[in-house]
Chains A and B, each alone.
Chain A
Amino acid sequence: MKLYDSFRSALQSLVVNKLRSALTMLGVIIGVAAVIAMVSVGNGASASVQATILNLGSNLVTVQPQFGNDQGLKGAGTQAQNLTLDDMRSIQNQLGASIAATEAEQGTGRWQVTAAGQNWNTQVTGVTEDYPTVRDWKLDSGEFFTTSDLNLNAQVAILGTTTAQNLFGDGDAVGQTIQLRQVFGGDRSGGRARILNFRVVGVLTTKGSTFGFSRDDQILVPLTTAQHVLTGRLNIVNAIVIKATSSDTMDATTSDVNNILLQRHNISDPASADFTVTNQNDTLAALSSVTGTFTLLLGAIGGISLLVGGIGIMNIMLVSVNERTREIGIRKAVGARRGDILTQFLIEAVALTGLGGVLGILLGWAITEVVHRIPQAANLPLLITSGTVIIAVGVSVVIGIVFGLYPAMRAARLHPIEALRYE
């Protein structure tokens, strides 16, 4: 029997029972659509998290002070104040060309900022000259401060776009002066204020937000200025960030940084290090394992509906075989072999699931499009990958074969005499 004839017979019987075929297919359509939609949401979430991490800069190795021990309770003590700008310079000198760049940071807290009659409250952070390289963050206008600004504790500032917008509107911020104010001693009327003038030398490009925190609302000043003028915590830094030359060299860089700091801090046992070195790859891996589990879970929920759809196929195929016992008898009487009957019913089941799979993909795609229209999910990239589509169609065809096989085998095994006698 030619495959063409099998297809014709199968499609004919599906067309005859249009409503039944459609309803049966619906189970597969919903199942496939659920898998597609859910996996695409999962993939989207995963991609979104990854993009957020990489938004902080790529190939980063971060050193942070370890929390001290308090009577044996790890992490219970105060944060160690032992990571210094000298550590950073030492890493910079020793690793040289084997890393892309490095910078150190010290947070100075929030300040009230005034300029041109406007005022604004924002975060001020001291950073070093290679910050733009490390963070993959260019300037919209102006120039980033230099090593000489750091040496001079120059009172210069770089503004985030939101900050610049709030202080200067659409006007040019570069070259303007801003005042950082800190009120201390008593309430607003009786208190005394410290007022520090900073000259704006640059404005950063827009970066968006990370985990809900806007990164465009901040002021960057030279690290030494932050230490000497704003906080008084000399030499101390909150973090040293090293940018590796590529993703592949991150492990080597991590271990180099570790060794340099252990040596500088005179620590022989790495377990008692007073700092932690975090590799961005590890963070990404941990997060992608979380989102992967999430995607798998969503896919499994879709998979269950697909399974239910498959059982529906089996059910309907069993009914169909039963109903068409006589037809099977007739076909056998005129010379149909077992394989012919098997093929016919199997193709019927696969046609149902295959077509259901294709329609399910369209429905799944439609669902992701609708989800896209929901404002809360607008930022979520919804990814229907070719892999998802191939798997969905493949799985629905396999479901057709798996759930169609038993009914088809029952049909093929029918004895012609009994089948012909069937009323």
Chain B
Amino acid sequence: MNESVVQLRGIAKTYHIGRDITVNALRGVDLDVRAGEFLAIMGPSGSGKSTLMNVLGCLDVADAGTYVLAGENVGKLSDDQLAAIRNKHVGFVFQTFNLLSRLNAIENVELPLIYGGDRHARRQRALAALEQVGLGDRIHHRPSELSGGQQQRVAIARALLNDPSMILADEPTGNLDSRSSAEILAIFQRLNETGKTVVMVTHEPDVAAHCKRIVRMRDGIVARDELVPHPRRAEDEIAAGIGAAK
């Protein structure tokens, strides 16, 4: 077995809305993600998958339980320490791409290196990451000059830059057409084949079907955790001209 990238034990998170409404978003989640996995987190609205994603990404801290990310206990860290962890260990890909509109593609990709990691050869590394996602010829384009699929590829390049322990994608294909979705999934699969750990939150079964393992959330706990025997290959679907069926 590969080493654990993520180890969650008894993670609980409660939100307080107003004075007396409390929402138990997570109620004791145990989860292990090993290096090289391609994992989908599924579940209906209110199941706690977004909260789980935030905890996994160190954007939020759990109220109870332990979270060990790449060997570091990140349960009780300060905001700044969490920022450093995010910078080093987590590569985010968002549904809405979240690129800075003022910056061109390569400047967006460079962003994580501004805040940490090896500053040396920043531009070359950003260029390499953009080439990895097939955008080597669009480096000076602004996000507004790129299609949705291209913007998401810039976001993936950004997520790759600091060579994180895990790529965390939140509905990465939610705003894309079938063809672009398939291309993005193909990139994730290709990255996973080179050993990258990818965790993807989605509510679309067709998208999840490309992953190797599916974790289903319900009412703040892991309801089912199963391996996908034969993940669909996005490359094949593109070749067949159908894209990821939606």
- Report which A residues bind B (CB closer than 8 A): 1-2, 5, 9, 12-13, 16, 326-327, 329-340, 416-417, 420
Q: Is the pair B102, A335 in contact by a Cβ cutoff of 8 Å? A: no
Q: Is the pair A334, B158 in contact by a Cβ cutoff of 8 Å? A: yes
Q: Is the pair B115, A336 in contact by a Cβ cutoff of 8 Å? A: yes
Contacts of A12 in B (CB 8 A): 102-103
Q: Is the pair B80, A334 in contact by a Cβ cutoff of 8 Å? A: no
Q: Which of B30-66 contact A (CB under 8 A)?
A: 54, 57, 59-60
Q: Is the pair A333, B115 in contact by a Cβ cutoff of 8 Å? A: no
* Segment of B84-92, B144-152, B171-179, B216-224 engaged in the interface with chain A: B84-92
Q: Is the pair A330, B100 in contact by a Cβ cutoff of 8 Å? A: yes
Q: Which of B59, B79, B103, B116 contacts A333 (CB 8 A)?
A: B59
Residue of A nearest to B91 (CB): A334
Q: Which of B59, B79, B98 contacts A338 (CB 8 A)?
A: B79
Q: Is the pair B83, A5 in contact by a Cβ cutoff of 8 Å? A: no
Q: Is the pair B100, A339 in contact by a Cβ cutoff of 8 Å? A: no
Q: Which of A16, A330, A333, A339 contacts B57 (CB 8 A)?
A: A333
Q: Is the pair A13, B102 in contact by a Cβ cutoff of 8 Å? A: yes
A16 and B99 CA atoms in complex are apart in Å by: 16
Contacts of B86 in A (CB 8 A): 332-335
Q: How far is the CB of B134 from chain A (nearest CB, A)?
A: 22
Q: Check: B114 CB closer than 8 A to any chain A CB.
A: yes
A65 and B119 CA atoms in complex are apart in Å by: 84
Q: How far is the CB of A335 from chain B (nearest CB, A)?
A: 2
Q: Is the pair A335, B100 in contact by a Cβ cutoff of 8 Å? A: no
Q: Which of B94, B98, B112 contacts A335 (CB 8 A)?
A: B112
Contacts of B162 in A (CB 8 A): 335
A67 and B152 CA atoms in complex are apart in Å by: 95
Q: Which of A9, A330, A337, A340 contacts B98 (CB 8 A)?
A: A330
Q: Is the pair B114, A337 in contact by a Cβ cutoff of 8 Å? A: no
Q: Is the pair A327, B54 in contact by a Cβ cutoff of 8 Å? A: no
Q: How far is the CB of B60 from chain A (nearest CB, A)?
A: 6
Q: Is the pair B79, A417 in contact by a Cβ cutoff of 8 Å? A: no
A16 and B83 CA atoms in complex are apart in Å by: 27
Q: Which of B60, B80, B115 contacts A331 (CB 8 A)?
A: B115
Q: Which of B100, B102, B115 contacts A1 (CB 8 A)?
A: B115
The 9 closest A-B pairs by CB, nearest first: A335-B87, A335-B115, A334-B112, A337-B80, A337-B83, A5-B114, A330-B98, A416-B59, A336-B115
Q: How far is the CB of A15 from chain B (nearest CB, A)?
A: 9
Q: How far is the CB of B213 from chain A (nearest CB, A)?
A: 25
Q: How far is the CB of A314 from chain B (nearest CB, A)?
A: 22
| B108-121 to A contact mask, C-beta < 8 Å, 1/0 | 00011011100100
Q: Is the pair B102, A16 in contact by a Cβ cutoff of 8 Å? A: yes
Task: Return 23 A-B CB contacts under 8 Å, by A number.
Answer: A1-B114, A1-B115, A2-B119, A5-B114, A9-B114, A326-B98, A330-B100, A330-B111, A332-B83, A333-B57, A333-B86, A333-B92, A333-B98, A334-B87, A334-B112, A335-B83, A335-B87, A335-B88, A337-B80, A337-B84, A416-B59, A417-B60, A420-B59
Q: How far is the CB of A374 from chain B (nearest CB, A)?
A: 46
| B134-175 to A contact mask, C-beta < 8 Å, 1/0 | 000000000000000000000000100010000000000000
Contacts of B99 in A (CB 8 A): 330
Contacts of B115 in A (CB 8 A): 1, 331, 334-337, 340
Q: Is the pair A417, B83 in contact by a Cβ cutoff of 8 Å? A: no
Q: How far is the CB of B193 from chain A (nearest CB, A)?
A: 25
A2 and B98 CA atoms in complex are apart in Å by: 23
Q: Is the pair B92, A334 in contact by a Cβ cutoff of 8 Å? A: yes
Contacts of A16 in B (CB 8 A): 102
Contacts of A335 in B (CB 8 A): 83-84, 86-88, 112, 115-116, 162
Residue of A nearest to B108 (CB): A330
A326 and B94 CA atoms in complex are apart in Å by: 12
Q: Which of A9, A331, A420 contacts B94 (CB 8 A)?
A: A420
Q: How far is the CB of A5 from chain B (nearest CB, A)?
A: 5
Contacts of A331 in B (CB 8 A): 111, 115
A334 and B115 CA atoms in complex are apart in Å by: 8
Residue of A nearest to B98 (CB): A330
Contacts of B79 in A (CB 8 A): 337-338
Contacts of A329 in B (CB 8 A): 98
Residue of A nearest to B60 (CB): A417
A12 and B102 CA atoms in complex are apart in Å by: 8
A345 and B59 CA atoms in complex are apart in Å by: 22
A2 and B110 CA atoms in complex are apart in Å by: 14
Q: How far is the CB of B236 from chain A (nearest CB, A)?
A: 33
Contacts of B111 in A (CB 8 A): 330-331, 334
A340 and B116 CA atoms in complex are apart in Å by: 11
Q: How far is the CB of B119 from chain A (nearest CB, A)?
A: 7
A189 and B153 CA atoms in complex are apart in Å by: 113
15 extra interface residue pairs, beta carbon distance < 8 Å, beyond A334-B87, A334-B92, A340-B115? A1-B115, A327-B100, A331-B111, A331-B115, A332-B83, A333-B57, A333-B86, A333-B98, A335-B83, A335-B115, A336-B115, A337-B79, A338-B80, A420-B59, A420-B98
A1 and B117 CA atoms in complex are apart in Å by: 10
Contacts of B80 in A (CB 8 A): 337-339
Residue of A nearest to B87 (CB): A335
Q: How far is the CB of B48 from chain A (nearest CB, A)?
A: 14
Q: Is the pair B83, A336 in contact by a Cβ cutoff of 8 Å? A: yes
A417 and B57 CA atoms in complex are apart in Å by: 10
Residue of A nearest to B82 (CB): A416
Contacts of B83 in A (CB 8 A): 332, 335-338
Contacts of A13 in B (CB 8 A): 102
Q: How far is the CB of B42 from chain A (nearest CB, A)?
A: 20
Contacts of B94 in A (CB 8 A): 420
